[in-house]
């Protein structure tokens, strides 16, 4: 399907359905199916139906509406919605009801998007699942990293807003066989996103098709003064209707260091994708960036350091979970954090504390940041001569099986995150067990249109 | 390699507590992670310097005072606060 969003809009336009009926259908589907996948952690029936009814009224009145109006969608639980419990997958935020909307949620509400509910996630997007893990809708024997991708794959949301710090959107999209867009850092506001690695965190899109991902990106991109890292020059013109850029003459890079440790099925699927681009006139350029061998290590240091800093505020005093038994304030904070954080999160906070401590700051943190700067510079340089880089999205066969216990397996997705570059995850094949294989297209800074166009051509296959 | 004593020190700095029967495992896991990242310490990046995050993070907002959140919103998740402050109840270890 080229666009589920446009398909619904067409059906509403000719009176075949209404936004309210669509919302009711999706809410029913959540009720029927969510217990199989655990994709949603909270459903927002009332507000979803109200938004859908508003979109119908606007439609009836002939008002001009954005393409996201009336479309049923989901929001990851680390993106705050005013008055709606927000856990970010952690016990430490039990009872927390945000007093404001994230900027992207303001946009959704302003345009009558139908927010069906919040999706489940690993603790702060870095730990284990605090509640039951999300099951992969393709095969529920397997877990997946994120409920947002699962909700889209299960057909219980048309699209979802997710977050990506070191590849969350890219990996979970690949695991569930959907499309995932991690936009350029700063092109979509982070205001209202629960912070994990602030210098990499980015809100992005999970959708059924490249066109839908582009439609949603068009709706949420743009400068936001509430986010101090928001890019003032983010283009605001729509790109969803400009994805027919073709392939001929485009230069696509293959970075040797990002094609390693792959099983034969993944390698074959990726090679076929490369052949598709080559057969349709793209120039494939082989590259080597040895510095990328250090990307995962540098990311681990930076992620843990920023996590330890960002999670310092969870003390039980201002919001969230607080223990009832304690002897003094210090004891209260320590008990609250120990009971509130899961083991993986505790470990990362302690590692971050170690990397930032006086004796280790230069050895680890400063070194990691220097490596990061070098990675960003080298990636930006090679991107001057390429439209995109093509890489695996994740180490498919292993990360699917053991995704709950492999915190450092982000080698393919970390470079783009560290450099703040946009990336697109696309299904490009299937394993013999039926699970999807994903590929990643990394673009230039603010080069979303180029990677979405290449992805669109690949998925539509019309140039073959 | 870090020791159990250093693990306890890190936990104290991070305001976490590690129980005795978890200490060996946590130390082992921390060492595993530190070992995993140790390859970055071997890399010689002659001439490269760390100049803060500004270059990677793009054009940052001017550092000027902006709109403030109303106090009642900031205190809303702390039971509304107490006379404008975040309240902490005086308790004994038995919870009374």
- Calpha distance A44→A108 (Å, rounded): 14
Q: Which of B16, B48, B69 sits opposite A338 (nearest CB)?
A: B16
Q: List all residues 6 or more positions away from A129 whose beta carbon is below 8 Å from its beta carbon.
A: A89, A120, A121, A122, A123, A404
Minimal CA separation from A106 to chain B, in Å = 17
Which tokens hold the place of A185?
A: 């850092």
- Calpha distance A137→A139 (Å, rounded): 5
Asked if A175 contacts A406 with a C-beta cutoff of 8 angstroms, the reply is: no
Taking contacts as CB-CB distances below 8 angstroms, the residues of chain A near B78 are: 317-319
Q: What is the pTM of this model?
A: 0.95
* Residue B67 binned pLDDT confidence (cut-offs 50, 70, 90): confident
Mean predicted confidence (pLDDT) in A277-290: 97
Q: Does pLDDT of B56 surpass 70?
A: no
pLDDT per residue as tens digits for the range A178-230? 999 999 999 999 999 999 999 999 999 999 999 999 999 999 999 999 998 99
pLDDT per residue as tens digits for the range A239-275? 999 998 889 999 999 999 999 888 899 999 999 999 9
Calculate the alpha carbon distances from A98 to A52, A81, A201, A204, A212 in Å. 23, 6, 19, 21, 29
Phi, psi of B51 (to 5 degrees): -115, 35
Q: What is the ipTM metric for this complex?
A: 0.90
Q: Which residue of A has its CA nearest to B85?
A: A318
Minimal CA separation from A8 to chain B, in Å = 38
Q: Which residue of B has its CA nearest to A201?
A: B57
Question: What is chain A's percent helix, strand, coil content, to nearest 5?
Answer: 45, 15, 40
Minimal CA separation from A300 to chain B, in Å = 7
Calculate the alpha carbon distances from A166 to A19, A81, A340, A417, A450 in Å. 35, 24, 23, 6, 22
Q: Look at B37 and A315 and tell me if their CB atoms are within 8 Å.
A: no
Return the closest-CA partner of residue A148 out of A191, A203, A83, A200. A203
Q: Which residue of A has its CA nearest to B87?
A: A317
């Amino acid at each position: 399907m080229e666009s589920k969003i446009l398909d619904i809009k067409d059906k509403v336009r000719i009176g075949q359905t209404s936004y309210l009926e669509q919302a009711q259908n999706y809410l029913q589907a959540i009720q029927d199916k969510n217990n199989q996948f655990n994709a949603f952690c909270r459903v927002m029936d009332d507000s979803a139906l109200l938004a859908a009814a508003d979109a119908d009224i606007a439609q009836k009145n002939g008002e001009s509406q954005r393409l996201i109006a009336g479309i049923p969608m989901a929001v990851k639980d680390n993106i705050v919605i005013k008055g709606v419990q927000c856990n970010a997958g952690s016990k430490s935020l039990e009872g927390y009801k945000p007093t404001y909307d994230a900027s992207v949620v303001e946009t959704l509400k302003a345009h009558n998007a139908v927010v069906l509910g919040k999706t489940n996630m690993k603790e702060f997007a870095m730990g284990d699942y605090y509640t039951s893990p999300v099951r992969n809708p393709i095969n529920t024997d397997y877990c997946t990293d994120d409920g947002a991708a699962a909700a889209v794959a299960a057909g219980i949301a048309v699209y979802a807003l997710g977050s990506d710090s070191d590849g969350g959107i890219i990996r979970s999209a690949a695991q569930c066989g959907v499309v995932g867009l991690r936009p350029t850092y700063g092109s979509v506001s982070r205001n209202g996103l629960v912070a994990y690695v602030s210098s990499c965190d980015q809100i992005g899109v999970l959708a059924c098709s490249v066109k839908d991902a582009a439609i949603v990106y068009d709706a949420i991109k743009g400068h936001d003064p509430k986010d101090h890292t928001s890019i003032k020059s983010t283009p605001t013109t729509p790109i969803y209707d400009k994805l027919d850029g073709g392939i001929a003459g485009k230069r696509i890079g293959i970075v040797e260091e990002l094609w390693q440790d792959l099983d034969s099925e993944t390698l074959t699927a990726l090679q076929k994708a490369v052949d598709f681009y080559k057969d349709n006139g793209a120039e494939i350029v082989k590259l080597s960036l040895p510095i990328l061998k250090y990307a995962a290590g540098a990311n681990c240091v930076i992620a843990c350091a920023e996590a330890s800093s960002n999670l310092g505020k969870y003390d039980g005093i201002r919001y969230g979970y607080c223990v009832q038994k304690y002897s003094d304030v210090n004891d209260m904070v320590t008990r609250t954090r120990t009971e509130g954080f899961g083991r993986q999160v505790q470990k990362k906070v302690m590692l971050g504390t170690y990397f930032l401590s006086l004796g280790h700051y230069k050895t680890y943190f400063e070194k990691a940041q220097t490596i990061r700067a070098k990675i960003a510079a080298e990636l930006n340089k090679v991107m001057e001569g390429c439209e995109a880089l093509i890489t695996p999205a994740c180490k498919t066969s292993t990360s699917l099986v053991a995704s709950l216990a492999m915190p450092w397996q982000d080698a393919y997705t970390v470079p783009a995150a560290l450099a703040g570059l946009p990336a697109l995850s696309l299904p490009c094949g299937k394993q013999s067990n039926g699970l999807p294989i994903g590929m990643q297209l990394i673009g230039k800074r603010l080069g979303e249109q180029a990677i979405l166009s290449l992805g669109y051509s690949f998925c539509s296959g019309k140039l073959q | 390699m870090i020791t159990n004593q250093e693990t306890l020190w890190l936990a104290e700095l991070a305001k976490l507590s590690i129980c005795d029967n978890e200490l060996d495992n946590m130390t082992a896991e921390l060492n595993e992670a530190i070992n995993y990242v140790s390859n970055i310490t071997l890399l010689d990046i002659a001439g490269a310097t760390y100049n803060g995050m500004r270059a990677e993070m793009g054009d940052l907002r001017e550092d000027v005072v902006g709109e403030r959140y109303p106090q009642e919103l900031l205190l809303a998740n702390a039971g509304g606060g107490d006379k404008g402050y975040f309240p902490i109840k005086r308790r004994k270890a038995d919870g009374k």
